[in-house]
Protein backbone atom coordinates (compact mmCIF):
# COMPACT_ATOMS: atom_id res chain seq x y z
CA UNK A 1 0.00 0.00 0.00
CA UNK A 2 1.19 3.46 -0.89
CA UNK A 3 2.35 5.81 1.87
CA UNK A 4 1.10 9.35 2.27
CA UNK A 5 4.35 10.93 1.05
CA UNK A 6 4.50 9.07 -2.22
CA UNK A 7 0.80 9.68 -2.96
CA UNK A 8 1.25 13.42 -2.35
CA UNK A 9 4.38 13.47 -4.53
CA UNK A 10 2.54 11.59 -7.28
CA UNK A 11 -0.17 14.26 -7.12
CA UNK A 12 2.45 16.99 -7.57
CA UNK A 13 2.22 18.54 -4.09
CA UNK A 14 5.19 20.83 -3.32
CA UNK A 15 7.58 19.71 -0.57
CA UNK A 16 6.61 22.42 1.88
CA UNK A 17 2.91 21.53 1.55
CA UNK A 18 3.73 17.86 2.14
CA UNK A 19 5.67 18.78 5.28
CA UNK A 20 2.80 20.96 6.49
CA UNK A 21 0.26 18.15 5.92
CA UNK A 22 2.51 15.72 7.80
CA UNK A 23 2.72 18.17 10.71
CA UNK A 24 -1.04 18.61 10.77
CA UNK A 25 -1.52 14.85 10.74
CA UNK A 26 0.94 14.43 13.60
CA UNK A 27 -1.47 16.57 15.64
CA UNK A 28 -4.41 14.47 14.46
CA UNK A 29 -2.64 11.28 15.52
CA UNK A 30 -2.30 12.73 19.01
CA UNK A 31 -6.02 13.59 19.01
CA UNK A 32 -6.77 10.05 17.82
CA UNK A 33 -4.81 8.66 20.76
CA UNK A 34 -6.59 10.90 23.29
CA UNK A 35 -9.98 10.01 21.79
CA UNK A 36 -9.22 6.29 21.98
CA UNK A 37 -8.42 6.65 25.71
CA UNK A 38 -11.96 7.99 26.25
CA UNK A 39 -13.04 8.36 29.85
CA UNK A 40 -9.73 6.86 31.04
CA UNK A 41 -7.91 10.04 30.04
CA UNK A 42 -10.57 12.31 31.56
CA UNK A 43 -11.14 14.00 28.20
CA UNK A 44 -14.92 13.59 27.98
CA UNK A 45 -17.60 16.05 29.08
CA UNK A 46 -18.12 19.80 28.83
CA UNK A 47 -16.06 22.78 29.94
CA UNK A 48 -17.60 25.83 31.57
CA UNK A 49 -16.86 28.01 28.55
CA UNK A 50 -18.51 28.83 25.23
CA UNK A 51 -16.85 29.47 21.88
CA UNK A 52 -17.39 32.64 19.85
CA UNK A 53 -20.47 31.04 18.29
CA UNK A 54 -22.14 30.58 21.68
CA UNK A 55 -21.71 26.79 21.76
CA UNK A 56 -20.65 25.06 24.97
CA UNK A 57 -17.14 23.74 24.44
CA UNK A 58 -16.49 20.09 25.18
CA UNK A 59 -13.15 19.22 26.79
CA UNK A 60 -12.16 17.44 23.59
CA UNK A 61 -12.94 20.55 21.50
CA UNK A 62 -10.50 22.53 23.61
CA UNK A 63 -7.83 19.80 23.80
CA UNK A 64 -7.94 19.11 20.05
CA UNK A 65 -7.77 22.81 19.25
CA UNK A 66 -4.73 23.26 21.50
CA UNK A 67 -2.93 20.26 19.99
CA UNK A 68 -3.42 21.47 16.41
CA UNK A 69 -2.65 25.08 17.25
CA UNK A 70 0.63 24.22 19.01
CA UNK A 71 1.73 21.71 16.37
CA UNK A 72 1.02 24.04 13.44
CA UNK A 73 2.37 27.20 15.09
CA UNK A 74 5.68 25.49 15.91
CA UNK A 75 6.10 24.05 12.41
CA UNK A 76 7.14 27.29 10.70
CA UNK A 77 5.09 26.50 7.57
CA UNK A 78 1.99 28.37 8.70
CA UNK A 79 1.45 32.14 8.70
CA UNK A 80 -1.89 32.06 10.53
CA UNK A 81 -4.64 29.74 11.69
CA UNK A 82 -8.40 30.07 11.90
CA UNK A 83 -10.30 27.60 14.03
CA UNK A 84 -13.87 27.01 15.10
CA UNK A 85 -12.67 27.30 18.68
CA UNK A 86 -10.76 30.59 18.26
CA UNK A 87 -12.60 33.93 18.17
CA UNK A 88 -9.93 35.53 15.97
CA UNK A 89 -7.20 34.30 13.65
CA UNK A 90 -4.09 33.02 15.44
CA UNK A 91 -0.89 34.55 14.05
CA UNK A 92 2.01 32.09 13.58
CA UNK A 93 5.24 32.48 11.57
CA UNK A 94 5.30 35.79 9.57
CA UNK A 95 7.38 33.92 6.94
CA UNK A 96 4.95 30.97 6.76
CA UNK A 97 3.60 30.23 3.28
CA UNK A 98 0.22 28.75 4.22
CA UNK A 99 -3.03 29.49 6.05
CA UNK A 100 -4.83 26.63 7.78
CA UNK A 101 -8.52 26.63 8.78
CA UNK A 102 -9.86 23.80 10.90
CA UNK A 103 -12.70 22.39 12.92
CA UNK A 104 -10.55 20.60 15.51
CA UNK A 105 -13.37 18.32 16.55
CA UNK A 106 -16.49 17.88 14.48
CA UNK A 107 -19.48 16.14 16.02
CA UNK A 108 -18.86 17.36 19.58
CA UNK A 109 -22.16 15.91 20.81
CA UNK A 110 -20.87 12.44 19.91
CA UNK A 111 -17.86 12.62 22.23
CA UNK A 112 -19.70 11.40 25.30
CA UNK A 113 -21.21 8.37 23.58
CA UNK A 114 -18.04 7.05 21.91
CA UNK A 115 -19.48 7.72 18.49
CA UNK A 116 -17.99 9.13 15.28
CA UNK A 117 -16.07 12.40 15.47
CA UNK A 118 -13.31 13.93 13.36
CA UNK A 119 -11.09 16.88 12.44
CA UNK A 120 -11.80 18.87 9.25
CA UNK A 121 -9.21 21.15 7.62
CA UNK A 122 -8.38 23.25 4.59
CA UNK A 123 -5.13 24.88 3.50
CA UNK A 124 -4.63 27.91 1.24
CA UNK A 125 -1.61 30.00 0.26
CA UNK A 126 -0.85 32.93 2.55
CA UNK A 127 -0.68 36.15 0.54
CA UNK A 128 2.69 37.91 0.95
CA UNK A 129 1.04 41.26 1.77
CA UNK A 130 -0.76 39.73 4.72
CA UNK A 131 0.03 40.58 8.34
CA UNK A 132 -0.22 37.31 10.34
CA UNK A 133 -3.13 38.61 12.45
CA UNK A 134 -5.14 39.87 9.45
CA UNK A 135 -8.38 37.86 9.03
CA UNK A 136 -9.07 39.26 5.55
CA UNK A 137 -6.51 36.89 3.95
CA UNK A 138 -8.73 33.97 5.03
CA UNK A 139 -11.62 35.36 3.03
CA UNK A 140 -10.81 33.41 -0.12
CA UNK A 141 -13.36 31.25 -1.96
CA UNK A 142 -12.99 27.47 -1.72
CA UNK A 143 -11.62 27.38 -5.27
CA UNK A 144 -8.33 28.71 -3.82
CA UNK A 145 -7.84 25.73 -1.45
CA UNK A 146 -4.64 23.75 -2.15
CA UNK A 147 -5.40 20.83 0.17
CA UNK A 148 -8.37 19.79 2.28
CA UNK A 149 -9.58 16.79 4.16
CA UNK A 150 -10.76 15.23 7.37
CA UNK A 151 -9.48 12.70 9.86
CA UNK A 152 -12.20 10.41 11.15
CA UNK A 153 -11.71 8.96 14.63
CA UNK A 154 -13.77 5.81 14.16
CA UNK A 155 -13.18 2.10 14.68
CA UNK A 156 -10.07 2.82 12.61
CA UNK A 157 -8.58 6.27 12.14
CA UNK A 158 -9.03 7.33 8.53
CA UNK A 159 -7.98 10.32 6.47
CA UNK A 160 -9.82 11.58 3.37
CA UNK A 161 -7.76 14.16 1.53
CA UNK A 162 -7.48 15.96 -1.78
CA UNK A 163 -4.90 18.31 -3.25
CA UNK A 164 -7.06 18.78 -6.34
CA UNK A 165 -5.97 15.56 -8.07
CA UNK A 166 -8.68 13.21 -6.86
CA UNK A 167 -9.81 12.25 -3.37
CA UNK A 168 -7.96 9.45 -1.62
CA UNK A 169 -8.78 7.53 1.54
CA UNK A 170 -6.00 6.57 3.92
CA UNK A 171 -6.02 4.41 7.04
CA UNK A 172 -3.74 5.02 10.01
CA UNK A 173 -1.52 1.99 10.49
CA UNK A 174 -0.93 2.14 14.22
CA UNK A 175 1.89 -0.43 13.99
CA UNK A 176 4.21 2.16 12.42
CA UNK A 177 2.20 5.37 12.85
CA UNK A 178 1.80 6.24 9.17
CA UNK A 179 -1.25 6.80 6.95
CA UNK A 180 -1.46 4.30 4.05
CA UNK A 181 -3.62 4.77 0.95
CA UNK A 182 -6.46 2.28 1.24
CA UNK A 183 -8.59 3.69 -1.60
CA UNK A 184 -7.19 5.96 -4.30
CA UNK A 185 -9.33 8.20 -6.50
CA UNK A 186 -12.71 7.44 -4.97
CA UNK A 187 -15.57 7.77 -7.43
CA UNK A 188 -18.96 8.35 -5.81
CA UNK A 189 -22.01 6.82 -7.49
CA UNK A 190 -23.95 9.50 -9.41
CA UNK A 191 -27.31 8.22 -8.13
CA UNK A 192 -28.38 7.23 -4.65
CA UNK A 193 -31.30 6.08 -2.53
CA UNK A 194 -29.94 7.45 0.78
CA UNK A 195 -30.32 10.85 2.38
CA UNK A 196 -28.93 12.42 5.50
CA UNK A 197 -30.62 15.41 7.11
CA UNK A 198 -31.77 16.48 10.59
CA UNK A 199 -35.47 16.04 9.83
CA UNK A 200 -36.51 17.52 13.20
CA UNK A 201 -35.84 20.94 11.64
CA UNK A 202 -38.19 20.35 8.70
CA UNK A 203 -40.86 22.85 9.78
CA UNK A 204 -38.24 25.63 9.82
CA UNK A 205 -36.88 25.01 6.30
CA UNK A 206 -37.68 26.96 3.15
CA UNK A 207 -40.29 25.54 0.75
CA UNK A 208 -37.90 23.97 -1.84
CA UNK A 209 -36.09 21.72 0.64
CA UNK A 210 -39.36 20.92 2.50
CA UNK A 211 -40.88 19.73 -0.79
CA UNK A 212 -37.77 17.84 -1.84
CA UNK A 213 -37.54 15.89 1.45
CA UNK A 214 -41.31 15.24 1.47
CA UNK A 215 -40.95 13.67 -1.98
CA UNK A 216 -38.05 11.48 -0.79
CA UNK A 217 -40.15 10.27 2.13
CA UNK A 218 -43.16 9.60 -0.11
CA UNK A 219 -41.01 6.90 -1.78
CA UNK A 220 -42.55 4.72 -4.48
CA UNK A 221 -45.96 6.30 -3.89
CA UNK A 222 -44.66 9.84 -4.49
CA UNK A 223 -43.41 11.70 -7.57
CA UNK A 224 -39.90 10.18 -7.29
CA UNK A 225 -41.39 6.65 -7.57
CA UNK A 226 -38.49 5.30 -5.57
CA UNK A 227 -37.91 4.38 -1.91
CA UNK A 228 -35.17 6.25 -0.02
CA UNK A 229 -33.46 5.34 3.23
CA UNK A 230 -32.31 7.85 5.85
CA UNK A 231 -29.01 7.84 7.79
CA UNK A 232 -27.88 10.40 10.39
CA UNK A 233 -24.65 10.24 12.39
CA UNK A 234 -25.05 13.76 13.87
CA UNK A 235 -21.46 14.58 12.91
CA UNK A 236 -20.95 16.05 9.47
CA UNK A 237 -17.63 14.24 9.25
CA UNK A 238 -19.35 10.86 9.73
CA UNK A 239 -22.27 11.64 7.44
CA UNK A 240 -20.03 12.93 4.63
CA UNK A 241 -17.71 9.94 5.05
CA UNK A 242 -20.61 7.60 4.35
CA UNK A 243 -21.71 9.70 1.38
CA UNK A 244 -18.16 9.69 -0.04
CA UNK A 245 -17.81 5.94 0.40
CA UNK A 246 -21.12 4.79 -1.02
CA UNK A 247 -23.00 7.81 -2.34
CA UNK A 248 -25.93 9.67 -0.80
CA UNK A 249 -27.05 13.22 -0.20
CA UNK A 250 -26.25 15.21 2.95
CA UNK A 251 -27.97 18.53 3.64
CA UNK A 252 -27.91 21.12 6.39
CA UNK A 253 -30.16 23.75 4.81
CA UNK A 254 -30.92 27.33 5.73
CA UNK A 255 -33.71 27.49 8.27
CA UNK A 256 -35.91 30.41 9.25
CA UNK A 257 -35.32 30.40 13.01
CA UNK A 258 -32.48 32.90 12.89
CA UNK A 259 -32.45 35.00 9.71
CA UNK A 260 -28.96 36.27 10.60
CA UNK A 261 -27.62 32.70 10.52
CA UNK A 262 -27.73 31.42 6.95
CA UNK A 263 -27.17 27.77 7.87
CA UNK A 264 -25.51 25.87 10.70
CA UNK A 265 -22.26 24.70 9.18
CA UNK A 266 -19.24 26.95 8.76
CA UNK A 267 -17.89 27.74 5.30
CA UNK A 268 -14.14 27.83 5.91
CA UNK A 269 -13.61 24.71 7.98
CA UNK A 270 -16.70 22.55 7.40
CA UNK A 271 -18.50 23.24 4.10
CA UNK A 272 -15.56 24.10 1.81
CA UNK A 273 -13.26 21.18 2.69
CA UNK A 274 -16.15 18.71 2.33
CA UNK A 275 -17.26 20.32 -0.94
CA UNK A 276 -13.72 20.02 -2.35
CA UNK A 277 -13.45 16.33 -1.31
CA UNK A 278 -16.84 15.45 -2.76
CA UNK A 279 -16.33 17.34 -6.03
CA UNK A 280 -12.96 15.62 -6.48
CA UNK A 281 -14.76 12.29 -6.04
CA UNK A 282 -17.29 13.10 -8.78
CA UNK A 283 -20.01 14.52 -6.51
CA UNK A 284 -21.56 17.99 -6.21
CA UNK A 285 -21.82 20.60 -3.45
CA UNK A 286 -24.23 23.54 -3.46
CA UNK A 287 -25.80 26.07 -1.11
CA UNK A 288 -29.08 25.64 -3.01
CA UNK A 289 -28.28 28.80 -4.94
CA UNK A 290 -24.74 28.22 -6.16
CA UNK A 291 -21.56 26.18 -5.84
CA UNK A 292 -20.28 26.17 -2.23
CA UNK A 293 -16.67 26.53 -3.37
CA UNK A 294 -17.46 29.79 -5.17
CA UNK A 295 -18.99 31.53 -2.14
CA UNK A 296 -16.92 34.61 -1.27
CA UNK A 297 -16.53 34.57 2.53
CA UNK A 298 -17.18 37.78 4.42
CA UNK A 299 -15.99 36.58 7.83
CA UNK A 300 -14.00 33.64 9.17
CA UNK A 301 -16.86 31.97 11.06
CA UNK A 302 -19.40 32.49 8.27
CA UNK A 303 -22.13 29.87 7.98
CA UNK A 304 -23.66 28.49 4.78
CA UNK A 305 -26.46 26.13 3.85
CA UNK A 306 -25.07 22.89 2.39
CA UNK A 307 -26.40 20.27 -0.02
CA UNK A 308 -23.62 17.79 -0.77
CA UNK A 309 -23.49 14.37 -2.38
CA UNK A 310 -24.11 12.21 -5.43
CA UNK A 311 -24.20 14.47 -8.46
CA UNK A 312 -27.55 13.52 -9.97
CA UNK A 313 -29.34 13.63 -6.61
CA UNK A 314 -27.89 17.05 -5.73
CA UNK A 315 -29.02 18.29 -9.15
CA UNK A 316 -32.51 16.88 -8.57
CA UNK A 317 -32.65 18.72 -5.23
CA UNK A 318 -31.53 21.94 -6.93
CA UNK A 319 -34.42 21.66 -9.41
CA UNK A 320 -36.76 22.27 -6.46
CA UNK A 321 -34.92 25.56 -5.80
CA UNK A 322 -35.24 26.57 -9.45
CA UNK A 323 -38.97 25.89 -9.67
O1 LIG B 1 -27.55 17.78 15.86
P2 LIG B 1 -27.65 18.99 15.01
O3 LIG B 1 -28.04 20.24 15.75
O4 LIG B 1 -28.48 18.78 13.78
O5 LIG B 1 -26.16 19.33 14.50
C6 LIG B 1 -25.40 18.38 13.86
C7 LIG B 1 -24.34 19.08 13.12
O8 LIG B 1 -23.59 19.91 14.01
C9 LIG B 1 -22.23 19.62 13.95
O10 LIG B 1 -21.91 18.75 15.01
C11 LIG B 1 -21.46 20.92 14.08
O12 LIG B 1 -20.08 20.74 14.23
P13 LIG B 1 -19.31 20.88 15.65
O14 LIG B 1 -19.55 19.64 16.44
O15 LIG B 1 -17.90 21.03 15.17
O16 LIG B 1 -19.82 22.13 16.32
C17 LIG B 1 -22.07 18.89 12.61
O18 LIG B 1 -21.00 18.02 12.59
C19 LIG B 1 -23.38 18.13 12.50
O20 LIG B 1 -23.71 17.83 11.17
MG1 LIG C 1 -18.12 20.88 13.08
MG1 LIG D 1 -16.11 21.40 16.16
Ranges of residues in the chain with a pLDDT under 50 are none
Q: What is the pLDDT of residue 262?
A: 83
Which residues share a beta bridge with 159? 151, 170
Residue nearest ligand 1's atom 10 by CA:
107
Asked if 267 and 305 count as a contact pair (C-beta separation under 8 A), the reply is: no
In whole angstroms, give the CA distance from residue 108 to residue 36: 15
Instruction: Give residue 228 CA to ligand 2 midpoint distance, Å.
Output: 26
Distance, CA of 181 to CA of 184 (rounded, Å): 6
Confirm whether residue 109 is marked as ligand binding: yes
ipTM score here?
0.96
Ligand 1 centroid to residue 234 C-alpha, Å = 6
Query: Ligand 1: which of 101, 104, 202, 264 to mutate, most ligand atoms within 8 Å of CB?
Result: 264
pLDDT at 70: 97
What is the structure's pLDDT at 59? 85
190 is in an annotated binding site: no
| Contact yes or no for 199/234 (Cβ under 8 A) | no
Region at 12 (left for phi over 0; alpha for psi -120 to 50; beta for the rest):
left
Give me the numbers of helices (H) and strands (E) for the chain, helices first please: 7, 17
pLDDT of amino acid 51: 72
> Quick one: pLDDT at residue 276?
99
Domains and CATH numbers, the chain: 4-183 (3.30.540.10), 194-322 (3.40.190.80)
pLDDT (tens digit per residue) in 206-221? 999 999 999 999 999 9
| C-alpha to C-alpha distance for 80 and 74, rounded to whole angstroms | 11
Amino acid sequence: MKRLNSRLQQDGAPLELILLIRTLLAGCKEISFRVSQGALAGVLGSTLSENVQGETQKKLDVISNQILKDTLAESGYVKAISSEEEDDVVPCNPEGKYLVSFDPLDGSSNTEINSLIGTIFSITHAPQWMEPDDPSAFLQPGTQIVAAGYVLYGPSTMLAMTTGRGTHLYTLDKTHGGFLVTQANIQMPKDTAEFSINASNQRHWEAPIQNYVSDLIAGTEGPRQKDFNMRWVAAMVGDIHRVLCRGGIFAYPFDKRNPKMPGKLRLLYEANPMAFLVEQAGGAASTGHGRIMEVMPTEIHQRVPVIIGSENEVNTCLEYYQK
